[in-house]
Chain A
């Protein structure tokens, strides 16, 4: 075909059908959806990405790996971490002492290399066959030789590689690290604190002599970020694509300063009492009482420099007002938009939109209300909030049920399936404190009665189900 023919050829546009669950328009042929289009998800790279940590022991590699994995999964990028230390523990059932890590311990070196290769094998399974998009290879990877092995592996399999090196010489930070996560490690389960610390320090020494940090000149063609002194300084080299750019941005915003995050919903609202979803109503008398109790609770907690955030809906703002403190409003914290179902009771939704109601029960995370949003949309909308939460220190977020579920899922690493069913009752404050590799949660009920707004997934989610079956799990209301 000549070029002019190409230019004048008219493409016959395909028919579009809207997917009933996600409300996404997809092209179809003979009534069947075609796979040709793509949804804007975070990761539009075709090649999977291998994130490789680099650094001496007790430099926060596992902390970074787990946190990054949690973040990426939350924003919808299937990610998994592969901790080589774990493979070693499975191989060498009992850890005796630092001598295992001596650079002249040939037996030890053999085992450690095998473990690394076993982990890489599992990485390949995950990325090439298991539907993973990002794998985080968590190990010291302190020698150029080990990193070359990994680069070759990645090249063979068509993965992009991004190194995350953590460099830190501050003895206080390292000591704190050891106390927080090493003493509780399976390796030191039968040791007393003193012994454990001593052994671990000798373990670090074993790595020090052969440590070759990523080099500005020798490694100038590699993509990496060097995190120095727990985030005081960063060196970023050759960011190749969107996902690497997001990873860098995230890593540059997290910190390890101790702090607490308080999450709660607005006080009980007028619409809550009537069993209606959404809307922009004010607080009921119970809700107002809660707001005052919340104010008292916050005062008693004596929190240093507490920031308070609300949505732009009346009920969260009314709640914050009772605290007598400055607060900031985020539109992004607004409750999920239920579109045509706004201000309806579940009974009314069943009556007017039984199909929609069933589809929602089938996949509550991805289901989008007609002219509204899905939990999946909510997560995307909340990402800047999470990013700023990471930057902040002590903070109280007064929000809404679906929003709080999304935020909680991020902090507690809950899957997309669990997220829409997390229990976030009214008048209950969740106090989240980062500890070790995760988050400690304290639930504080402020002793002011409120309706239950939690609707469990009913047994029958079929579109042909009876109304009674659909409404079985609707909580009581006026």
Chain B
């Protein structure tokens, strides 16, 4: 039942007239929409944000449940050529280097193939400059041979400020420049870019009109989209068109401690306890002290998040999608009661907390799908404070910090603690700010014994204290 990844069920047609295979991940909320694996191929000069896009897109696709992996050819090159001397390696007339670079690309393609066939990957992001038509032809032939779809993502930018900022943020700290002084590194990198410019052939409106691609101009002020083939490409385009690189901060926190929290009961729609109210006031003070320009505040539709936001004194928006996970028949129960009334359910949940769906309720997997529009809008926004709930916050945090489905349901999101997320380089800096108001612990670790016939005591071993 719960716990398996993909099952293939053979279904008898009516009247026994033949069998039809049916693929569906059990209990997945949304059907799988890709049949052929897809290769996303980046195109662009160095320092155009290809790796940034690759990593972000991969993180997003994995979060929504599409197994995706990045293949960064630069990494293969660093493994082949142990130490980087200078830009001369990238000169178009450096035959020795060209051989190595081509071998690296082919090696990466081989790994792409293995990822699809052996590791059940769905999407491979091929992160390299891919600036010549010749190189792109190699990739297209490869994909055609194996039956993979190809979608190109080209990043075009001629704004020297953006490029300089890019170099500063991610190139200076690259393994290639680990022993260089800053100015040398910048000078060398700029010469490296020049090496590519000579042979750069962008995707062409005419010659490449049968290819599927998106061209991103100047970090998103303009896009050219050609021949979107299917659902996943459509989602990728939508995502790429919503992300931006403007610096901003995302604050995540839960509602203040609630009356049901104190009683060790899950779910429900109770109000804040007195400590919860204290936290709300402290949150208000903290937020005001941060002096955040144009801060948006989002809450769920549940009383406890709204009460918390009220104390900040700034207009807020209520999202039903931010409501806590629906525990179905277990709503408002203590873990002890769940163990007593639904011991099997309780065990199944411990076996696969991500995919487990409460009877008449939801799973974490359902939550992720429910939260996808929230994430999409968070990407569009700038400074935002999201006041939500434990399971919801775990899902959002997993997206920002690239946590797997296995880790997600056990991420620590304690009450009365604000997580301040700041995008930096290819990831996210996290600051955890405890606002100094005591609260119960609501985090239940995975117990050692998850067997259906375990002792009640084994099941309840990790239940946090409560009244």
Determine which of B29, B225, B318 lies in contact with A236 in the assembled complex, contact meaning CB atoms within 8 Å. B225
Beta-carbon contact of A330 and B315 below 8 Å: no
Contact segment of B109-117, B133-141, B142-150, B300-308? B300-308
Q: How far is the CA of A242 from the CA of B13 in the complex (A)?
A: 46
Beta-carbon contact of B241 and A248 below 8 Å: yes
What distance in Å separates the Cβ of A213 from its nearest Cβ neighbour in chain B?
14
Beta-carbon contact of B315 and A25 below 8 Å: no
Q: How many residues of A contact B (CB 8 A)?
A: 60
List A residues 222-239 near B (Cβ within 8 Å).
232-239
Beta-carbon contact of B284 and A36 below 8 Å: no
Beta-carbon contact of A233 and B315 below 8 Å: no
What distance in Å separates the Cβ of A290 from its nearest Cβ neighbour in chain B?
13
Beta-carbon contact of B222 and A235 below 8 Å: yes
- A7-B288, A27-B310, A40-B319 as given contacts; A238 in contact with B227, CB under 8 Å: no
Contact segment of A158-166, A318-326, A462-470? A318-326
- A321-B11, A330-B30 as given contacts; A25 in contact with B22, CB under 8 Å: no
Beta-carbon contact of B30 and A38 below 8 Å: no
- A326-B21, A377-B320 as given contacts; A233 in contact with B31, CB under 8 Å: no
Beta-carbon contact of B315 and A234 below 8 Å: no
Q: Tell yes or no: B223 within 8 A of A by CB.
A: yes
Closest to B366 in A: A331
Closest to A390 in B: B234
What distance in Å separates the Cβ of A106 from its nearest Cβ neighbour in chain B?
38
Q: Tell yes or no: A295 within 8 A of B by CB.
A: yes
Beta-carbon contact of A13 and B318 below 8 Å: no
Beta-carbon contact of A39 and B303 below 8 Å: no
Beta-carbon contact of A391 and B234 below 8 Å: yes
Q: Mark B19-54, 1 if CB is under 8 A from A, else 0.
A: 011111001111111000000000000000000000
What distance in Å separates the Cβ of B50 from its nearest Cβ neighbour in chain A?
20
Beta-carbon contact of A13 and B280 below 8 Å: yes
Beta-carbon contact of B377 and A11 below 8 Å: no
Closest to A310 in B: B31
- A252-B237, A325-B20, A330-B30 as given contacts; A37 in contact with B226, CB under 8 Å: no
Beta-carbon contact of B318 and A324 below 8 Å: no
Beta-carbon contact of A236 and B14 below 8 Å: no
Contact partners of B27 in chain A: CB under 8 A: 312
Q: Tell yes or no: B242 within 8 A of A by CB.
A: yes
A39-B318, A236-B225, A249-B241 are known; give 6 further A-B pairs, CB within 8 A. A37-B317, A40-B319, A245-B241, A252-B237, A324-B12, A324-B20
Beta-carbon contact of A252 and B223 below 8 Å: no
- A238-B222, A324-B11 as given contacts; A18 in contact with B303, CB under 8 Å: yes
Q: Tell yes or no: B277 within 8 A of A by CB.
A: yes
Closest to A233 in B: B226
- A232-B227, A324-B13, A391-B234 as given contacts; A11 in contact with B221, CB under 8 Å: no
Beta-carbon contact of A332 and B310 below 8 Å: no
Beta-carbon contact of B234 and A236 below 8 Å: no
Q: Tell yes or no: A350 within 8 A of B by CB.
A: no
Q: How far is the CA of A232 from the CA of B313 in the complex (A)?
A: 48
Contact partners of A384 in chain B: CB under 8 A: 30
Beta-carbon contact of B369 and A235 below 8 Å: no
Determine which of A237, A280, A329 lies in contact with B221 in the assembled complex, contact meaning CB atoms within 8 Å. A237
Instruction: Count chain A CB atoms within 10 A of each CB in B223, B310, B318, B366 and give the residue with the most.
Output: B310
Q: How far is the CA of A25 from the CA of B284 in the complex (A)?
A: 20
Closest to B370 in A: A381
What distance in Å separates the Cβ of B371 from its nearest Cβ neighbour in chain A?
13
Contact partners of A39 in chain B: CB under 8 A: 317-318
Determine which of A44, A235, A242, A292 lies in contact with B224 in the assembled complex, contact meaning CB atoms within 8 Å. A235
Q: Mark A9-35, 1 if CB is under 8 A from B, else 0.
A: 011011010100001110100000000
What distance in Å separates the Cβ of A138 from its nearest Cβ neighbour in chain B?
23
Contact partners of B307 in chain A: CB under 8 A: 13, 16
Q: Tell yes or no: A198 within 8 A of B by CB.
A: no
A-B contact pairs, 17 of them (CB 8 A): A25-B301, A37-B317, A233-B209, A235-B224, A235-B225, A238-B222, A245-B242, A248-B241, A249-B238, A253-B234, A295-B14, A323-B14, A325-B13, A326-B23, A327-B22, A384-B30, A391-B230
Determine which of A44, A249, A331 lies in contact with B369 in the assembled complex, contact meaning CB atoms within 8 Å. A331
Instruction: Count chain B CB atoms within 10 A of each CB in A14, A18, A295, A324 and give the residue with the most.
Output: A324
Q: How far is the CA of A324 from the CA of B222 in the complex (A)?
A: 47
Beta-carbon contact of A326 and B237 below 8 Å: no
Q: How many residues of B contact A (CB 8 A)?
A: 65
Contact partners of A241 in chain B: CB under 8 A: 380
Contact partners of A312 in chain B: CB under 8 A: 27, 29
Q: What residues of chain B have their CB less than 8 Å away from a CB belonging to chain A?
A: 11-14, 17-18, 20-24, 27-33, 209, 221-228, 230-231, 234, 237-238, 241-242, 271, 277, 280-281, 284-285, 288-289, 298, 301-303, 306-307, 310-313, 315-321, 331, 360, 366, 369, 377, 380
Q: Tell yes or no: A209 within 8 A of B by CB.
A: no
Q: How far is the CA of A27 from the CA of B313 in the complex (A)?
A: 12
Closest to A44 in B: B317
Determine which of A6, A38, A238, A326 lies in contact with B22 in the assembled complex, contact meaning CB atoms within 8 Å. A326
Beta-carbon contact of A11 and B281 below 8 Å: yes
Beta-carbon contact of B227 and A38 below 8 Å: no
What distance in Å separates the Cβ of B17 from its nearest Cβ neighbour in chain A?
7
Determine which of B242, B310, B316 lies in contact with A16 in the assembled complex, contact meaning CB atoms within 8 Å. B310
Contact partners of B18 in chain A: CB under 8 A: 324
Q: Mark A34-56, 1 if CB is under 8 A from B, else 0.
A: 00111110001000000000000
What distance in Å separates the Cβ of A218 from its nearest Cβ neighbour in chain B?
14
Q: How far is the CA of A81 from the CA of B231 in the complex (A)?
A: 29
Beta-carbon contact of B234 and A252 below 8 Å: yes
Closest to B306 in A: A25
Q: How far is the CA of A232 from the CA of B210 in the complex (A)?
A: 10
Beta-carbon contact of B17 and A10 below 8 Å: no
Q: How far is the CA of A237 from the CA of B215 in the complex (A)?
A: 12
Q: Tell yes or no: A417 within 8 A of B by CB.
A: no
Q: Tell yes or no: A388 within 8 A of B by CB.
A: yes
Contact partners of B331 in chain A: CB under 8 A: 371
Determine which of A18, A38, A326, A388 lies in contact with B315 in the assembled complex, contact meaning CB atoms within 8 Å. A38
Query: Sorted from nearest, which 7 A-B pairs have the closest CB atoms?
Result: A324-B13, A328-B31, A331-B29, A11-B313, A13-B310, A40-B319, A234-B225
Instruction: Count chain B CB atoms within 10 A of each CB in A323, A329, A380 and give the residue with the most.
Output: A329
Q: How far is the CA of A331 from the CA of B360 in the complex (A)?
A: 12
What distance in Å separates the Cβ of B209 from its nearest Cβ neighbour in chain A?
8
Beta-carbon contact of A242 and B380 below 8 Å: yes
What distance in Å separates the Cβ of A264 from its nearest Cβ neighbour in chain B?
17
